[in-house]
Structure 1
């Protein structure tokens, strides 16, 4: 793949193709008033380091990208592995023909070697899932056009393994690395807007507040840091006394959790410790999610015990979160948990058909990808439930490490205009015909880098931790 230097901040928009790959450079950051950081505007943050900082509890009154919230009727699951393979599956839902309810399907749409080392992070852009970003121990962040099954290029700004990737918005990508830095990229031309420095060691995890204004990160230096994403700088930090492995915001942004081995600490936004949860086994993934039945949130915990425990987050902050259900079916550790709300097709077998649900996807070291229907969790649980997968895909022994869920097609009902279905925007200023859309689903096996297949090395043994 041909590689060019990183685009300068004031340069013209770069072409989005395989020549995009950027070299490691010390690109001077934009000035404080640079409008290129076009994330939602926030009030000035206090100067200097603090022991704690307050962030907005919700995204009300936040000016963000104009978005029409239409639930997708399908979804894409993309999973990375120690074997450097990237798996892409398309998920669909159809009304059940034999009994009331729905049938969930997982169909493979691509499988190919994406990196020269194990894949450690993967993320899809929101509001349509156009961009896919993958990060690896090879220190490269690769960007893909998920709709067209095409590689865009490699972002090589980091000098350490990529630990996490997240999209604060569909126009920005945030990455963290073992080199101790976070990078904010602009999706328009994949220029580096900011290199965020502050950790004195590897960054293990990063979490973006639902408002898109700030991010939290934890690392090997045993500190929790807050970043002002509008100004591209640190705004606060505090000592944790332990190495945080994961940090995650709640759906409302009213609290967050820091995970270390088998322990989860729940904090308020002003850094007050609410609860400490000691899980029965080592934890690998945590995820907040809004209930389908009832109100409030639940916390998914994927761990070494081969299942996902569902903790109820009580409205009363004094009540300790408790396990109300378990998602079972894996035969090895659960490495990642993600969730997505989707629209459901009309069902003739149901008198009062549901309009939507939330699917929960998991990947495991057993090589399997599971899909669960969160509607299986009732509003009130009198005893601990077991929830079984509604769909499964078996990679035949691949050690899966990470996963993301991308939105598929918008629902037919919401997408109908004058009795005709809207055609998908291809991201280049015009809409694809159905024939062009079909061509984009041919898979990435023949794409490769410069139309060549990437020969892969054998991956070393799996890190048990």
Structure 2
């Protein structure tokens, strides 16, 4: 086993080394099937003030409940050189400034670990939500490695795919969804890392997957130039749509009412009913996209990382019915000297921490580039610039802090929650109960969206 790498002037801490335990999936006949309908529940009196919930796509348009905000966050990046970089970002009071009003805070980075994780290029990383306990990494070595971020130790490897792992995501704290060049999606349970479902439908490599904010539906794109919708509650395909080109990245919006598909330098934005709304033609080849929805502006933005060495911010129309307006460029994140490979966002609580009421929060964007730098940007500065901008000029932001990997070719990025705010001693029990109820819910779709393959069945 090679020794942990060390960056210049930085002490690294490797995960606890244990003999890798390869977790092989059971035969298909032994896979426990998901229930096709929810277990019986206690009847509740209907509330006349509330509208009756609708099924199918309309049910996805319900507002997504915000999660608890962490006080810190972790940055995990993979490299072409098979290594993992782990950093922790936290807000610390700036003692050098003399302010008579509110204290000034600066974002500080510290290194958690730097070490070789795979025997081939690291292609994708994902962290579990609401606490960020689990870290999953996928590689060209066809293995999904599972790590315990809190204890900093390796749990083992999942050997279910027969091709390079192309994308990983956690639909919830208890499930992991993977995509591979073998054309399959796998849904794992984090309790014992067993395979709940192996979803087949794509012909050829799957490039990217995204899960709806409700955790009930996933979208995937691949080499076959087809967009597929998956019902994660029943573990089967729900709909499909032919695309004009090979989709490389697909993303649900924060509100969950639309999604975007990136192909080369083009982004197509669709409604939840799979109706094309807008097409964005970017000046250079795109590598990643991310939706951002700050509450003060009421507008949703799209962050686009591309070959032009920056992240461009597009403003999207508030109402999709307004076809007279088109997405426009309103800002950019600068500082990189090479192509920007990935971008991700997170919102954290800032001191002084409030025990009751609305917490003070701050949003950040993190980027990685082929120049070897990890950069963090203060998105609140962008929002303030938008609110005070009366000339419609583009708002340019420089990073508030950065980390130099000394020339590593960064390939993938994920952000994980750090210390969570807990004000209610029964909050953990409530969250667990809500998760279990949500996982047991049944989601139906309109008959017109049923996949052709399922109609044949």
- TM-score under structure 2 length normalisation: 0.78
Question: Does structure 2 retain, via aligned residues, the 8 Å contact 1:307–1:333?
Answer: yes
* Shift in Å, 1:267: 0.3
State how far apart, in whole Å, the 2-side matches of 1:36 and 1:187 are: 21
Which residue is equivalent to 1:31? 33
Which residue is equivalent to 1:361? 366
Question: Does structure 1 retain, via aligned residues, the 8 Å contact 2:268–2:280?
Answer: yes
Aligned residue among 80, 83, 88 for 1:82: 80
Confirm or deny that 1:240 pairs with 2:243. Answer: yes
* Shift in Å, 1:32: 5.0
Aligned residue among 101, 104, 109 for 1:106: 109
* Shift in Å, 1:292: 5.6
Corresponding residue SS for 1:155: strand
What's the RMSD between the two structures over aligned residues?
2.8
Structure 1 residues 211 and 179, CA gap change in structure 2 (3 angstroms): same
Structure 1 residues 73 and 86, CA gap change in structure 2 (3 angstroms): same
* Shift in Å, 1:316: 3.0
Which residue is equivalent to 1:387? 397
Gaps of 5+ in 1: 2-16, 46-53, 348-352, 423-465
Gaps of 5+ in 2: 2-17, 40-52, 428-457
Question: Does structure 1 retain, via aligned residues, the 8 Å contact 2:91–2:107?
Answer: yes
Corresponding residue SS for 1:375: helix
Question: Does structure 2 retain, via aligned residues, the 8 Å contact 1:18–1:152?
Answer: no
Which residue is equivalent to 1:320? 326
State how far apart, in whole Å, the 2-side matches of 1:44 and 1:18 are: 47
Q: Which structure has the highest helix share of the two?
A: 2
* Shift in Å, 1:142: 0.5
Question: Does structure 1 retain, via aligned residues, the 8 Å contact 2:127–2:415?
Answer: yes
Which residue is equivalent to 2:203? 200
What does the per-residue CA deviation read over 1:335-356, in whole Å, with 9 as the maximum and x for residues that have no partner? Answer: 1111111001139xxxxx9811
State how far apart, in whole Å, the 1-side matches of 2:297 and 2:94 are: 24
- TM-score under structure 1 length normalisation: 0.77
Aligned residue among 209, 212, 217 for 2:212: 209
Corresponding residue SS for 2:28: coil
Corresponding residue SS for 1:376: helix
State how far apart, in whole Å, the 1-side matches of 2:32 and 2:223 are: 28
Aligned residue among 330, 342, 345 for 2:336: 330
Structure 1 residues 43 and 226, CA gap change in structure 2 (3 angstroms): farther
State how far apart, in whole Å, the 2-side matches of 1:76 and 1:250 are: 22
Which residue is equivalent to 2:44? none
Q: How does 1:402-413 map to 2 (within 5 A)?
A: 402-411=412-421
Structure 1 residues 237 and 69, CA gap change in structure 2 (3 angstroms): closer
State how far apart, in whole Å, the 2-side matches of 1:43 and 1:144 are: 39
Question: Does structure 2 retain, via aligned residues, the 8 Å contact 1:284–1:335?
Answer: yes
Q: How does 1:54-453 map to 2 (within 5 A)?
A: 54=57, 56-60=59-63, 69-97=67-95, 98=97, 101-291=104-294, 293-317=296-320, 318=323, 319-346=325-352, 355-377=360-382, 378=384, 379-380=386-387, 381=389, 382-411=392-421, 414=422
Structure 1 residues 36 and 402, CA gap change in structure 2 (3 angstroms): farther
* Shift in Å, 1:24: 5.7
Question: Does structure 2 retain, via aligned residues, the 8 Å contact 1:56–1:253?
Answer: no
Question: Does structure 2 retain, via aligned residues, the 8 Å contact 1:175–1:182?
Answer: yes
Question: Does structure 2 retain, via aligned residues, the 8 Å contact 1:120–1:402?
Answer: yes
* Shift in Å, 1:58: 3.1
Which residue is equivalent to 2:441? none
Corresponding residue SS for 2:23: coil
Question: Does structure 2 retain, via aligned residues, the 8 Å contact 1:223–1:238?
Answer: yes
What does the per-residue CA deviation read over 1:58-78, in whole Å, with 9 as the maximum and x for residues that have no partner? Answer: 344x8xxxx994311111000
State how far apart, in whole Å, the 2-side matches of 1:266 and 1:316 are: 13
Structure 1 residues 174 and 43, CA gap change in structure 2 (3 angstroms): farther
